[in-house]
Structure 1
């Protein structure tokens, strides 16, 4: 991790690590069922999605949904409703499977046939920092190539260290000013 700003809030600057911003930006690309899990429609859609493939059953297992086949069939037939804990587990399983299913597409879109994706990096918010301690920072834009597969894999695995390593590679292209973008207020791209 790069980092002269190891204590980001020391002078009241606000932001997050670049690794966190990268993970958040990837997460925001994932869409899915809008209906809440505790609604009839939301539950039915999640159960349908999760029970179509072996990967769905694996996601339910990872999320801790351990019920008999009879109970699962009763949920699918809408004869019974899962308790609150199982509703939360089903929602977690749905989003876990959704993330895994869209990962390939995310890699394809972000790699953009080898051209990469242009990323806008917004520096930390220094509006609450006293003038003598402010740094002269502006939004930067950089084309990112060759790291998207690693970034998406790290995001799926919740591997913050790997996301941090990928972020360090991204900001190296900012020249001598790269260390000022270890922490950011946000990042964004159109992919």
Structure 2
């Protein structure tokens, strides 16, 4: 991590590590079922999605859903409702599978046939920092290429270290100011 600002926040600047902002921005591209898992419609949609493929059963296993086939059939037939813990696990399994299913599309969209994606980087919020301690740092727009496959894979795997390494590669292109963007208030793109 770049981060020579070892005492980040000491003067009340607010922001998040760039790697966290990168992961959050990728996460925001994932859409899915809007109905809550504890609603009849939301539960039914999640169960259909999860039981459609072997990958769905694997996602349920990763989420810790270990019920008998009879119980699962009762859930699908709406004869029984999962308890609160299993509802949370079903929701987690749904989003895990959804993330994995859209990964290929995300890579394609962000790589943009080799042209990359234009990213807006907003520096840390210094509105609460005394003027004498403020640093002049502007929002930046850069075109990011060549890292998106790795970034999406690291996001899926929750690999914060890899996201951090990728963020360092991205901000290297900012020249001597790169370290001022180790922490940011937000990043965004239209892809």
TM-score w.r.t. the length of structure 2 is: 0.99
Aligned to 1:172: 172
- 1:133-144 equivalence runs, <5 A: 133-144=133-144
- Equivalent pairs counted in the alignment come to 191
C-alpha distance in 2 between matches for 1:6 and 1:16 = 13
C-alpha distance in 1 between matches for 2:78 and 2:64 = 21
Aligned to 1:66: 66
Aligned-residue CA RMSD (Å): 0.5
C-alpha distance in 2 between matches for 1:7 and 1:55 = 44
C-alpha distance in 2 between matches for 1:24 and 1:6 = 23
- 1:33-112 equivalence runs, <5 A: 33-112=33-112
- Structure 2 segments unaligned to the other structure (5+ residues): none
SS at match of 1:78: coil
1:85-115 Cα distance to aligned partner (Å, 9 max, x none): 0000000000000000000000000000000
SS at match of 2:82: coil
- Structure 1 segments unaligned to the other structure (5+ residues): none
Please state how far the C-alpha of 1:6 moved relative to its aligned partner: 2.6
TM-score w.r.t. the length of structure 1 is: 0.99
SS at match of 2:57: helix
Aligned to 2:130: 130
- Is 2:12 the partner of 1:12? yes
1:93-140 Cα distance to aligned partner (Å, 9 max, x none): 000000000000000000000000000000000000111111001100
